Amino acid sequence: MSDTRPTGLFPPDTIRRFREMGAWTDETIDQVFRDQVAARGDALALVDPANNRNLVGTEPRRLSWNEVDAEVDFLAARLLDLEVKPGDVIGVQMPNGVELVTLYLAAWRIGAVISPLAMQYREYEVVGMGSTAQFSILVTVPEFAGRRPAEAIAAVREHIPTLRRIVTLTSAPTDQPAEGVTHLVSAPASDADRAAVAAHGHVADPNECLTICWTSGTESAPKGVPRAHYDWLSFAWAGVDAPRLTADDVLLNPFPMINMAAFVGKLLPWLRTGAVLVQHHPFDAATFFGQIATERVTYTVAPPALLLQLLRNTDLRSRIDLSSLTRVGAGSAPLQPVTVSGWQNEMNIAIINFFGSNEGIGLLSSPEDFPDPSDRAKYFPRYGAPGITWASRVADWITLKLVDPDTGEEITEPGRSGELHIDGPMVFAGYVNGSAVSSPFDDEGFLRSGEMFQIAGDRNQFLRYVDRAKDLIVRGGMNIAPAELEALISSHPSVAEVAVIGRPSEVMGERVHVVAALNPGTELTLDELITYLRGLQIASFKLPESLELLDVLPRNPVGKLLKRDLRSALAASD
């Protein structure tokens, strides 16, 4: 098998362009972290979820910057013991917690690449991603939510040819690991550990790969998004500048630390500012609000549906303490102006509207740029609009345009929908095994977002989100590729043809709706379909929540499936 793992990600011309711009520097994430350790020392740095014992069986911990650094060196030494080398890819399937952060930092200290996986992923997804990214080792937890992930992965490890070891990591001794699984227990580094890491002497190049995150588009297979120090650290400024974070902030992170939302929204701003990072996972309202009150959280993120629910339910608000909270980020679904206005006017808490992607979109509507909360709910900054300046430094680095998807014409007038194309130092270099998928870039090198916007505002200074140009379903912030599910459902013996579409949901954003035509003489219920898909060991968040049976699926004269007609019919019936 040829080695397709990324090393240096960006070509010299790109590096030169963004370094001259000031967006890229010699900084590396390990150096940013070491600088905070030197500056902050014994100050509190990192806090476990309050319900950590229920999640992974160990008590929650609170670590200072010095203590985090000591555990980073300990884990870096253990990775060296496991013969992890610079450029090796470490698959990581762990919930948010102290150990997840220290493992990431340990891997980066010795030049390894992290490929984070959602806890909902099962054997099907882990095998596909592990084979694509060529995992050398995979680190997980012994138990999570009644599942034993290491045992499940051990049963299919032969399907990931490059996988040498499966490792579990906890903060305290737990049950005996599964056969063939190595168990690590976090601890402070010894003098010998520090000496081993120092002797390894890895000097990071800011162009070397740090992570391979995963994104689901309309293609059937998830795509690996590699990122280097260069693009991650420039992207991080968007997450620092919009909420105006400082070392005095306490950040509560409820997003799984597996992609852009948590990296740019919490992990990297934490490293940049020296604030306190409080982990939370999976989302549990009672625990979440308890952490806000106990930890005196100043900034967090929340789904729009929860924000609207709190606004409407004054009785619930009266029973929770939000007095420390000064701003909240929200995304993954359109915000309603009443939500943003209500939080600002009734609770004096600013909501920051954000729109992003793993590949490099980063649009954030801050209170500074959008003092009118209704505008902040409806619009995003149109970076580069003539005569307009924006508060975040990323505005000076980003170039964007709207393009008619049919004609390729650039759109410059308001009210006309076009696909957002974007260029800047946070745009990724290209997918892992990029030759296997269509290029995400246009002829000028701009990232084609697959998202439709319109120009708006009295000076054409805003972008208004219209819709996705792709079929992607977003359920509770998790991306679901319809083509992937359609391929799996088509393998059911009763199914003749199938279409998977998103069904609007006030709480989840969208839910998975299956429309199928069956083979003659067969039957299929939703429960039977779910049981079949569970047998294929797919992630539970992809499971359908409604099933519609038709005699035939609508198609155009050349045979293309008309999902637009299915969506219209679904909307009319709801």
Give me the pLDDT at residue 199, please: 97
Residue 32: which of 65, 79, 61, 70 has the closest Cα? 65
- The 10s digit of each residue's pLDDT in 509-544 is 889 999 999 988 999 999 999 999 999 999 999 999
Domain 12-40+64-228 class in CATH: alpha beta
Q: How far apart are CA 327 and CA 317, in angstroms?
A: 16
Cis peptide preceding 504, ω within 30 of 0? no
**What's the mean pLDDT in 373-395?**
94
3-state secondary structure 461-508: CEEEEEEECCCCEEECCEEECHHHHHHHHHCCCCEEEEEEEEEEECCC
Q: Per-domain residue ranges for the chain?
A: 12-40+64-228, 473-573
- pLDDT at residue number 559: 53
Parallel/antiparallel/unpaired status of strands 276-279 and 250-253: parallel
DSSP string for 511-562: EEEEEEEEPTT----HHHHHHHHHHTT--GGGS-SEEEE-SS--B-TT--B-
pLDDT band (50, 70, 90) for residue 300: very high
Write out 230-298 in H/E/C secondary structure. Answer: HHHHHHHHHHHHCCCCCCCCEEEECCCCCCHHHHHHHHHHHHHHCCEEEECCCCCHHHHHHHHHHHCCC
Share of the chain above pLDDT 90, in %: 72
pLDDT band with cut points at 50, 70 and 90 for residue 3? very low
Q: Which residue reads 């950590």 in tokens? A: 52
Check: CB of residue 482 under 8 Å from CB of residue 473: yes
Distance (Å, whole) CA 524 – CA 514:
12
Can you tell me the distance from the alpha carbon of 304 to that of 423, in angstroms, rounded to the nearest whole number?
A: 28
3-state DSSP: the chain helix, strand, coil percent, rounded to 5?
35, 25, 40
Give the pLDDT of residue 436: 63
Supply 477's token pair: 């912030």
- Residue 163, CB half-sphere, CA atoms under 13 Å: how many? 26
Distance CA 457, CA 414 (A): 8
Q: Is residue 412 classed exposed, middle or buried when 0-12, 13-18 and 19+ CB atoms within 10 A define those classes?
A: exposed
Using DSSP's 3-state secondary structure scheme, residue 363 falls into strand
> How sure is the predictor about 252, in pLDDT bands with cuts at 50, 70 and 90?
very high
Mean per-residue pLDDT, 491-507: 87
* Model confidence pLDDT, tens digit, residues 191-242: 999 999 999 999 999 999 999 999 864 445 789 999 999 999 999 999 999 9
Beta strands in 96-238, from DSSP E residues, in sequence order? 113-116, 135-140, 165-170, 181-185, 209-215, 223-228
Average pLDDT over residues 398-427: 93
Q: Nearest-CA neighbor of 306 among 507, 479, 511?
A: 507
Rounded Cα distance between 47 and 96, Å, is 10
Q: What is the pLDDT of residue 216?
A: 64
The two three-digit tokens of residue 129, written as one number: 């991603």
- At 23-69, the pLDDT tens digits run 999 999 999 999 999 999 999 999 999 999 988 889 999 999 999 99
Distance CA 183, CA 532 (A): 33
Residue 252 pairs in a beta bridge with: 278, 300
Interhelix angle 29-40/65-81, nearest 10 degrees: 140
- Give 413's pLDDT tier (boundaries 50, 70, 90): very high
Residue with tokens 């260029």, as numbered in its chain? 423
Measured distance CA(353)–CA(304) in Å, rounded: 10
Determine the 3-state secondary structure of 217 from DSSP.
coil
Query: What is the CATH code for 473-573?
Result: 3.30.300.30
CA distance 219 to 487: 11
